[in-house]
Amino acid sequence: MQSENHLPQKLIVVSGPSGAGRSTAINILEDLGFEGIDNVPLSLITRLTGGEMPRPMAIGIDVRNRDFSANGVNDVLNQLRLRTEIDAQMLYLEANEDTLVRRYSETRRRHPLAPKEPAIQGIRREADLLTPIRNQAEFLLDTSELSPHDLKARLTDWFGHEGSALFGVTLQSFSYKRGLPKGIDMAFDCRFLKNPYWDASLRALTGEDARVGDYIETDARLAAFKAKVTDLIVMLLPAFREEGKSHLSIGFGCTGGQHRSVYVAEQVALALAQQGWQVSKRHRELDRHAVSLSGKTGS
Cα distance between the two ends of the chain: 54
105 is an annotated ligand-binding site residue = no
**For residue 271, what are the contacts with CB-CB under 8 A and spacing of at least 6?**
226, 230
Q: Which amino acid appears at position 56 of this protein?
A: P
- Structural contact between residues 22 and 70, judged by C-beta atoms closer than 8 angstroms: no
Q: How far apart are CA 175 and CA 259, in angstroms?
A: 10
> Is 16 labelled as part of a ligand binding site?
yes
Q: Is 64 marked as binding a ligand?
A: yes
Cα angle vertex 20, ends 257, 118, to 5°? 100
Is 119 annotated to bind ligand?
no
Residue 226, number of CB atoms within 10 A of its CB: 17
- Tally of CA atoms within 13 A in the half-sphere of 27 that contains its CB: 8
60 is in an annotated binding site: no
Q: Is 17 annotated as a binding residue?
A: yes
Q: Is 62 annotated as a binding residue?
A: yes
268 is in an annotated binding site: no
Q: Is 21 annotated as a binding residue?
A: yes
41 carries a ligand binding annotation: no
Instruction: Tell me which H or E stretch contains 35.
Output: strand 35-38
Check the annotation: does 23 bind a ligand.
yes
Crossing angle, helix 260-274 and helix 210-217, to 10 degrees? 90
**Binding-site entries for GTP:** 62-65
Residues annotated within a binding site: 16-23, 62-65
Binding residues for ATP: 16-23
